[in-house]
Amino acid sequence: MALRYYHAEPVANSLKSMIPLKEKGLEFESVYVDLHKFEQHSDWFVKINPEGQVPVLDHDGQIITHTTVINEYLEDVFPDIPLRPRDPVGAARMRYWNKFIDEHVMNHVSMHGWHRMVGVIARNIESGEFEKLLENIPLPDQRKKWLTARSGFSEADLANATDKIVYAVEKVEKQLGETRWIAGDDFTLADINFYSHCGMMVERMFPDLDIAQRAPRLVEWRDRMSARDGVAAALAMPDHTNPALRTFTGHAR
Ligand SMILES: N[C@@H](CCC(=O)N[C@@H](CS)C(=O)NCC(=O)O)C(=O)O
């Protein structure tokens, strides 16, 4: 039974499905896809994932995409070390949080990351060459995002994204006053999701939000997350980001 994981740096979506692989102690072949060289839009990769995005899980030739789907798949196939509550109510709570994070957190943090990092990369590409690269992007929304990143997201959009992040931080802070982990008393895929997209980097990315003061329980939870063997092993996967840009996105190293 062979698992292959196509991924970029250990942050956001690539980290989100790497953590379950490590937490569950699964052997897998790691295939690094260099987003800085647009490998995600290249012919060889689009043959694997026609949407041109990482990460991708290949399990004995079955291709699974989208992190929340990948993580539930891993749970179904490798349930021995559980990351999803086995009772239906617990599983529903976890899925509620995953839905919230996927729909109302991920894109807002991503916009700030793209504004600071992808924008720099996109502006360094010559005009004609940039348009050629755009043509290779399969998803229309991603094409627009690359285009906007080059000129810069508007102040209004960035401020709106920050408001959504503050809302999410306060929502998680409140929840952690009631339960030890985000979806209840067990560590679940919801913790992995919020950590990968927001929790691990929110303090470094948004120093003005004064997270330590605003959300002390979230900071304590974040440290508990980072100390887990599976999380630490996932974070230790290679990071090829230009060190000068790394701080913008709040990469761990
Ligand atoms: N909904 C997808 C989103 C995947 C995604 O946004 N991947 C990003 C990396 S974090 C990507 O491939 N970006 C490069 C691009 O779109 O050009 C998932 O959950 O896997």
Q: What are phi and psi of 86, to 5 degrees?
A: -85, -15
Question: Quick check: 241 pLDDT over 80?
Answer: no
Bridge partners of 32?
A: 7
Distance 139 CA to ligand 1 centre (A): 10
Question: Quick check: 85 pLDDT over 90?
Answer: yes
Predicted local confidence at residue 37, as pLDDT: 87
Atom number of ligand 1 nearest to Cα 13: 10
Distance 51 CA to ligand 1 centre (A): 9
Of 10-14, 113-117, 168-172, the least confident: 113-117
Lining ligand 1 with CB less than 6 A are 8, 12-14, 35, 40, 53-54, 66-67, 142
- CATH for 88-228, among 3.40.50.460, 2.40.50.140, 1.20.1050.10, 3.40.50.720? 1.20.1050.10
HEC string of 142-177 equals HHHHHHHHHHCCCHHHHHHHHHHHHHHHHHHHHHHC
Q: In this structure, are strands 62-65 and 3-7 parallel, antiparallel, or unpaired?
A: unpaired
Atom number of ligand 1 nearest to Cα 41: 17
Distance of CA 146 to the CA centre of its chain: 18
**Domain chopping of the chain, boundaries:** 3-77, 88-228
State pTM to two decimals.
0.94
Predicted local confidence at residue 238, as pLDDT: 81
Please check whether residue 42 is in contact with residue 16, taking contact to mean a CB–CB distance below 8 angstroms. no
Atom number of ligand 1 nearest to Cα 145: 16
Return the CATH number of the domain spanning residue range 3-77.
3.40.30.10
Distance 54 CA to ligand 1 centre (A): 5
**pLDDT per residue as tens digits for the range 11-41:** 999 999 999 999 999 999 999 999 988 999 9
